Amino acid sequence: MRLRALLLLATILTLVLTGCRSNPIYNINNEPIATSTHRYSLQDVRGAILRAGTGLGWRMKSLQPGLIIGTLYLRDHMAEVEIPYDRDSYSIKYRDSNNLDYDGANIHRNYNGWVQRLQGAINAQLSSL
């Protein structure tokens, strides 16, 4: 009886701790670009996104006009996002990860914070165009 209670307690504790570390994945879809001017190009948007990501430690790679891949390495974790963009909006979408417990819908909660900080940095860079 005592062993059964300990096993039940251990199972509940494991579920609670696992649930606390994992959240639904956070994607940004078609975030409007807000700038102080209308005189900016697609290259200006590209530059703003690259500066924002690089400034936060992301490795940014422009694959083609309108698409950047950002990869963040922290300790033994890796997060990779794709950032499609045009003159009107941009998105940040999950692409891949390593050691972040991604299960197809949920991911380690730190990932969402990293993406939210990237979003804020991109918005700050874009607003200065």
Indicate which CATH number applies to the domain containing 97. 3.30.310.80
pLDDT, mean of residues 100-128 = 96
Range of the domain at 96: 2-127
Span 22-79, pLDDT tens digits: 899 999 999 999 988 889 999 999 999 999 999 999 999 999 999 999 999 999 999 9
**Domain total for the chain?**
1
Q: Which amino acid is at 107?
A: I
- More confident call, 92 vs 22: 92
Here the tokens at position 105 are 């819908």
CA distance 96 to 112: 13
CA distance 29 to 89: 9
Q: Which amino acid is at 64?
A: Q
Q: What is the per-residue pLDDT for 45?
A: 97
pTM, 2 dp: 0.83
Would you list the DSSP string of 74-109? ETTEEEEEEEEB-SSEEEEEEEEEESS---SSEEEH
pLDDT, mean of residues 88-111 = 97
DSSP-derived 3-state class of residue 97: strand
